[in-house]
């Protein structure tokens, strides 16, 4: 490789690395109002399993799975069978009120980046 080409390659790699490391791209902001309204933190924490799996465990389990977010959004709104133990998550009505598809999407996007 010529020196000039090499310099270009290094420059590109550095830009890519900087882009990936930047939280502005990698992580959506925490949807605090929704989390409060739906009492997510009543049962979940970010990193310690409590009454429910931690959001980090959930993110680790589903991050690489195709279509996982659609499945989780559905489940958050309509319920479904338990994936972690015997206790299913309560429905939105029992958590603080109805949850729109957009809000479910926002929440799952955020959970999966923890």
Burial class (CB in 10 A: 0-12, 13-18, 19+), 42: middle
Helix (H, G, I), strand (E, B) or coil at 108: helix
**Cβ neighbour number for residue 35 with a 10 Å cutoff:** 17
Q: Is residue 38 involved in binding ligand HEC (CB under 6 A)?
A: yes
Q: Residue 28 has what DSSP assignment?
A: P
Candidates 3-11, 19-27, 88-96: pick the segment binding ligand HEC (CB under 6 A). 88-96
Cα-only R_g, the chain: 19
Candidates 6-14, 16-24, 83-91: pick the segment binding ligand HEC (CB under 6 A). 83-91
Kindly tell me which residue out of 5, 27, 63, 87 binds ligand HEC, with binding defined by CB under 6 A. Answer: 87
Q: Is residue 44 involved in binding ligand HEC (CB under 6 A)?
A: yes
Q: How many residues does the chain have?
A: 114
Interface ranges with ligand HEC (CB under 6 A): 38-40, 42-44, 51-53, 58, 72, 75-76, 82-85, 87-90, 95, 107, 111
Annotated binding-site residues read 40, 44, 89
Annotated binding-site residues for heme c read 40, 44, 89
């Amino acid at each position: 490789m010529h020196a000039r080409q090499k310099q270009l390659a290094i420059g590109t790699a550095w830009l890519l690395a900087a882009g990936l490391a930047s939280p502005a791209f990698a992580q959506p902001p925490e949807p605090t109002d929704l989390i409060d309204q739906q009492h997510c933190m009543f049962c979940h924490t970010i990193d310690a399993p409590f009454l429910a799996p931690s959001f980090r465990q959930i993110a680790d389990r589903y991050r690489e799975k195709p279509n996982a977010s659609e499945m989780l959004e559905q489940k958050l709104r309509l319920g479904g069978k338990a994936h972690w133990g015997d206790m299913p998550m309560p429905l939105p009505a029992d958590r603080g009120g109805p949850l729109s598809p957009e809000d479910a999407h926002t929440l799952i996007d955020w959970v999966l980046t923890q």
